[in-house]
Structure 1
Amino acid sequence: MQSDSQGEKKCKIPANKILLIITLAGCLIFAGFSWANKTVTLNMDDKKQNIQTFALTVEQLLKAENIQLQENDRVKPGRSEFLHDGMTVSVKRAVPLTLKADGSTKKVYAHSSTVQALLEEFGITLQAEDSVSPAMEKPIERGMVVEVVRQKTQIVEEEVTITNKTIKRDNTELPRGNTKVVQQGHPGLVKKEWQITYRNGREHSRELKSKEIIRQPVDRIVEVGSAKIISRGGKTVRYAKAIDMVSTAYTYTGNNTASGVPPRRGVVAVDPSVIPLGTRLYIDGYGYCTALDRGSAIKGNKIDVFLESRQQAYGWGVRQVKVYVLE
């Protein structure tokens, strides 16, 4: 009997030890639960929210929150990173847009929130005169067009020719159709200073800043002959007008001319309403003559020249002649 009671004493565990074991087990369970349940900050396109999660990795967190990433989206830290309490997970959706800069147009996927941040993202630096559209503070939107305009201002000097004029003057001493240069003249020269603005390599505007005349233009002066002059038989004579006429010929009739003078070579009959009697003439093919006669058949632009014989008159026949009325 004594031996049995001693065995029972060996198997008995004190109550305080059992309580300690239960307490330790509870602590371990609570610690494990606390470690598994953590608070993380999800920053989704700059919108933050605190999330209680049992996820172990970033990828598990995204799945738990039904966040599906596209090819160009970004997540930080990486998907395989383990989560810990107080961690921030940032997700940036890629925004498709068109970027025009430095001579190229590209479709890009941006992760920036503003135009200014977009330029920084793609390494585009603006110089003092450059501009961007839309404005730097404009929020990024899907499908928008962002254009960088490179602007440069340059001062340019140029020399420009001033065209001189050609002045024509009548010269009554110079035969008609002839010309004479009395002053050669020369063009002028002006120096201009321009302020030229270039946009994306092309001239956009220019402003004249100064102008200086280096050489004044001098006009070229040309005299144009207005004198009606003919040269016949080694002599040069002036004429008032030239008339195309039909010419016939006559010879002695036994009567004096209408002017009362005897007929002779150098006397012609005319229509006084066309050529007044007494007018000095020159007829091609006949020579110098004077209108001293008239005839009943001589009307309008007809003229009858006197020749010394009937044979000469027949030989003259009827012909077209140029009659010059001499001054």
Structure 2
Amino acid sequence: METPVKRSTAPTKTHKRLLQGMFILNAKKFKAFFINMFSRAPKHKASPEALPIPSYIALLLFLGVALSAAFLGWALLFSDTSVPVTLVYRGREQKILTKADSVATLLENNAITLSESEDINYELSSALNDNMKLVIKSSFPVAVTSGGKVTLLEMRGGTVGEALLLAGIDYDAEDELTRLPFEDVEPGMRIRHIDIQKKYETVTKPIAFKEQVIRDNSRYKPPYQEAVIKTEGEDGEKLVVRELVYKDGELASREVMNQLILKDAVDRVVLVGTKTKYQTGLTGDEREWRPAPKKEQVRETIQISEITAYTHTGRRTATGRWPKIGYVAVNTNLIPYGTKLYIPGYGYCVAQDTGAFGAHKSDKNQIDVFMNTKRECLKWGRKYNVTVQILK
């Protein structure tokens, strides 16, 4: 194998013979020249038109010829046909001074035989030039995955984009890659390609109308007086453009790209009362109006023989509360304290007092409802055989 060497300065036998021949020939010519130029008895008679050559010019000519011959001799003696090249093989770079005339000869001199998995960057028949860089590359595996299919490549270099082309994958800028297309491939590299396809669809969708509530102080609040629809609402209509993104053939996302209003929605206008309606017209009644209880709200229905009314006495109720509209006195032998009742004409109330019923411990089936004024009590009077509902 060739190794880095120095240029040899020793002349070869061929060079010596050639140089000796040249010197002998030149010596004979110079001898004849000087005999003719400097002889005092010329062999022939000079022509009347010919002028003698000065001796110093002849000397200069002689020196010029002598120097040319010396330079030519030096070039022949010290010339060397070796070529410097750089060889990169199996990750090792070395500089070689070689007399090989081709790439193939260089490899042979260095005992290098290319295998099927190896390649060199020059033709084997290429002539060697000064500072030529020869790179021998070995193939390595690169795995490319696309659409669930894995392609195993044997590459000696190149880019990710080239690997995709070798795998027969036609990709574009919208596709997803785990590696950049211009990135150099490496041994054992895994490249995943995800095919991205975009589709667009247009659908017509309704625009739900909104409800606009107007407060009307001339009307009672619900539920006593229900809201009134002043203007009926009407749905609008819009055209929606959506982008569908498929990854390897499966829908991955759906995104609204644009919307076009085809028909505006019309708001529904509702009038809602603001006045409060109380359960009765009695003085100080703070109970807001409620409809009579429904069947599922009633635990029991009883018949009360007599219902009377009473007003302030200056004392608290039997349960320790100050009397107010909505509190009633009962016979606790029949109706316990805290029982919720509904009495027609009086409304929703709670048993919080007993009065004379509790003192006499009678079985009298009577209820006494509280009112704020004596006049209203007298107006109520006595009501007989009233159906009262006991609430849950």
- Common fold: TM-score over 0.5: no
User: Which structure shows the bigger proportion of residues in strand conformation?
Assistant: 1
TM-score by length of 2: 0.37
